Amino acid sequence: MIPPKVQAATRKLLNGDVHAAPKKGGLKMLKVIVPLGNEVYDESTNKFVSMDNYTLVLEHSLASLSKWEEKHEKPFLSHEQKTTEETHSYFECMSLAGEIPPQVFQHLTPEIYAEINKYLDAKMTATWFNDPPNAPRSRDVITAEILYYYMISLTIPFECQYWHLNKLLTLIKVINQKNQPPKKRMSRNELAQRNRDLNAQRKARLGTNG
């Protein structure tokens, strides 16, 4: 059950009652120059505007993820392959300049897509974990609200919603691990007894005496 304090803080956040520091871009943004070299139709003025380049300023963050999930009503962090439309929609959710002119998407080259994917996959941290290679993966569905719940329950400042998403996920994992009680080390006698028990189990399974 979610504690009442966490529920109240979550409601404030989702209702826009929690005010973080003024947003100037989080840690960290990606700037991509998209070469256009032609005229772009400006729907606001109904005129063609000459434009050589368009600068994408993108922020892969929990705030951006939340915008995307509000629009599509499905988890962003899933193994489901995203359509081109859904991918471009996330670019717009990441854009610090707001809506991206449709003509810009027509000029995205494979190199630009690769640069954006590299940014999305970046660790953005020096922290690493000693996870067992065959450790089972959690089947929990992670959504924006789940991540906001973690932030609230772990007292992570709300401005961290503008961090690079992978950096925020790492911080959440670090706090969870540090909050775990220390594992009890086995004494020599306990270790010897465990080995005797394992050896006895092996003998019984193989039907041998040695």
Kindly give, in sequence order, each residue whose CB lies less than 8 Å from that of residue 203, ignoring residues fewer than 6 positions away.
Answer: 209, 210
d(CA 125, CA 166): 8
> What's the rounded Cα separation, in Å, for the pair 96 and 94?
6
Gyration radius of the chain over CA positions: 24
Question: Which residue stretches of the chain have pLDDT < 70?
Answer: 1-27, 38-41, 49-51, 132-133, 135-138, 186, 207-210
CA–chain centroid gap for 38, Å, is: 36
pLDDT tens, 126-179?
Answer: 998 887 667 666 678 899 999 999 999 999 999 999 999 999 999 999 999 888
pLDDT for position 166: 96
Q: What pLDDT is recorded for position 47?
A: 74
> 5 in the Ramachandran plot: left (φ > 0), alpha (ψ -120 to 50) or beta?
alpha
